[in-house]
Amino acid sequence: MSITFIIPYYKLEKELLTRCIDSIIALEDYVDWEILVIDDGTPSTQAKDWTDAYNDKRIRYVLIEHAGLGGARNMGIDLANKEYIQMVDSDDYLFLQHEIEVLKIVQDNTPDALIFNYEKVYSNQHEKPHTEGKVTYTGDAAEYMTSHDIPPSCCRYIIKKSAIGKLRFTPDILHEDEEFSTLLLLNLTHIVVTTYTPYAYFQRGGSIINSQDKANIDKRFSDLLGIIQRIQKVTHTLDSDDRRRKALIRKTHTLSMCFIIDLIRDAYDTKFISSELARLKDTGLYPLPHGKYGLRYQFIRLATCLPILVKTTHSLLLFKKSL
């Protein structure tokens, strides 16, 4: 097999980018690879110098006009020359032994996509994940989605390029993975799910998705609601007995739950909560519909029947933060 690693890059220090690239180069003896570093319009040319320093034609640097994370990934998909694609954010890296294991699974099973685990890391200190792995599912993706929550992050997939087809990320939005991953899996008939953990998700301050800036919070919720609405539109095109419809209904329900949880945690005042819940209500997803999606969903669904509970919980969180 062969694989293209797509690394979107934007204004990141050298140590993190080279750590990411080095973790892929370590696969030298195990797979035919190429690396695409897609620079999303960084003003300086430092990243080009850093990648050129490897003096390896398999490592390509591509500068594009600023298009956001989704736009950078789209360029990577377009330029990929290998059979499979794996996306790695530039501040993250791979655990070698578990990456070798998931590549073996891909080699042996040739799935349309493989889903794996990740581990949060807070320093450079540990070199391997704390868990072992195994294959837990092989089969139709939509069938799997009817009873399981799929990872939103595209960094938890190895994907056959031919399976992506014309699908691309919606550019210049946040939470773009949620939409892409859902629509990608919807029509795949051969996926593999494993508990192997090849992906080190580096935790650092200052990331866009964790920003508490008011404008960023507004955009996050607006973009997430837009994703919910677009998935709903696809749902309405499918027959009532289509397993894909059932899978998408589950996704919109659980995504709405996440919308409410994030709203409780991150909203800057109760007026904002009221306005966002009203927008969610317009989609028919607030209060949360009935669904057997686990205890957390049942609890949040119960809370949404009494909006005062949502606002009270938010007020308590704000008070705790002020202490």
Question: What tokens appear for 179 in the block?
Answer: 């939409």
Q: How far apart are CA 244 and CA 242, in angstroms?
A: 5
**pLDDT grade, residue 213 (50/70/90)?**
confident
Query: Do 170 and 124 form a contact (C-beta atoms < 8 A)?
Result: no
The pLDDT, as a whole number, for residue 130 is 74
65 shares its domain with 82: yes
Asked if residue 184 and residue 71 are part of one domain, the reply reads yes
Instruction: Let me know whether 58 and 196 are in one domain.
Output: yes
Same domain, 109 and 247: no
Q: Structure tokens of 18?
A: 């080279």
The answer to whether residues 168 and 68 belong to one domain is yes
Does residue 221 share a domain with residue 175? no
For residues 23 and 172, membership in a common domain is answered with yes
Encode pLDDT of 214-273 as tens digits: 999 999 999 999 999 999 999 999 999 999 999 999 999 999 999 999 988 898 888 898
Which residues fall within 8 angstroms of residue 211, CB to CB, at 6 or more apart? 217
**pLDDT tens figures, 266-311:** 988 888 988 998 999 999 999 999 999 999 999 889 888 776 777 6
Residues 75 and 194 in one domain: yes
Task: Report phi then psi at 187, rounded to 5.
Answer: -110, 10
Q: Which contacts (CB < 8 Å, 24+ apart) does range 288-297 have?
A: 288/253, 288/256, 288/257, 288/260, 289/253, 291/249, 291/250, 291/253, 291/254, 293/149, 293/250, 293/253, 293/254, 293/257, 296/257, 297/253, 297/254, 297/257
- Report how far residue 77's alpha carbon sits from residue 65's, in angstroms, rounded to the nearest whole number: 16
pLDDT tens by residue, 52-94: 999 999 999 999 999 999 999 999 999 999 999 999 999 999 9
Domain count, the chain: 2
Q: Which of 152, 214, 221, 160 is nearest to 183 (CA)?
A: 152
pTM, rounded to two decimals: 0.92
| Domain co-membership, 216 together with 194 | no
Rg (CA), the chain: 20
132 and 198 belong to one structural domain: yes
> 176, 202, 228 — which closes off a domain?
202
Could you tell me the CATH number of the domain that includes residue 11? 3.90.550.10
Q: Are residues 196 and 218 in the same domain?
A: no
Q: What is the pLDDT of residues 81-140, one digit of tens each?
A: 999 999 999 999 999 999 999 999 999 999 999 999 999 998 766 667 877 899 999 999
Determine the Cα–Cα distance for residues 7 and 38; give it in Å rounded to an integer.
Answer: 6
Q: Torsion-angle region of residue 115: left (phi > 0), alpha (psi -120 to 50) or beta? A: beta
Q: Decide which of 202, 230, 262 is a domain's last residue.
A: 202
Phi, psi of 104 (to 5 degrees): -65, -40
Of 246, 243, 136, 231, the C-alpha closest to 192 is 136
Binned at pLDDT 50, 70 and 90, residue 150 comes out as very high
Tokens of 33: 């690879």
CA–CA distances in Å: residue 53 to residues 43, 63, 78, 93:
19, 16, 25, 19
Q: Look at residues 293, 219, 218 and name the one whose alpha carbon lies nearest to residue 255.
A: 293
Q: End of a domain among 171, 202, 233?
A: 202
Angle 270-282/214-235 helices, nearest 10 degrees? 10
CA distance 117 to 196: 6
Residue 155 carries which DSSP code? G
Q: Are 257 and 296 in contact (CB under 8 A)?
A: yes
Instruction: Mark whether 160 and 253 lie in a shared domain.
Output: no
Q: Judging by beta carbons within 10 Å of its beta carbon (0-12, 13-18, 19+), is residue 100 exposed, middle or buried?
A: middle
Range of the domain at 294: 211-322
Of the candidates 264, 255, 265, 312, the residue with the CA atom closest to the CA atom of residue 289: 255
